[in-house]
Amino acid sequence: MEYIHYHSEPELRDPVVIAAFGGWNDAADSATTAIKFLIDRWKPTKLAEFDIEDFFVFSETRPTIKYVDGIQRTIVWPSCQFLAHKTPDLSHDIILYLGAE
């Protein structure tokens, strides 16, 4: 079984990883909010994501429900994803990791 699903393989220059783990240690959602800000700002390329089913105990890391326009409900499952951003102004490209602890 493959645990990681790859979406793309861009050529990156000496990449640096910035990681944020959601959960009890993400005080006031500060780490995940910072990564989400970078994702929103940079629009990075999705590199890969974990198949979470074998790694999470869903009674501890539960899915959430998101309401759209106050009517439609959508289940949001925990996820672990890697995204890449090329930074021509810097000497390193950046890999962002956003996932549940």
CATH number, domain with residue 37: 3.40.50.10900
Determine the residue type at 13.
R
Q: How many structural domains does the chain have?
A: 1
DSSP 10-36: ---SS-EEEEEEESTTSGGGHHHHHHH
Q: Which domain holds residue 46?
A: 4-100
User: pLDDT tens track of the chain, all 101 residues?
Assistant: 688 899 999 999 999 999 999 888 888 999 999 999 999 999 999 999 988 887 778 887 788 888 888 888 888 888 899 999 999 999 999 999 999 87
Q: What is the pTM of this model?
A: 0.83
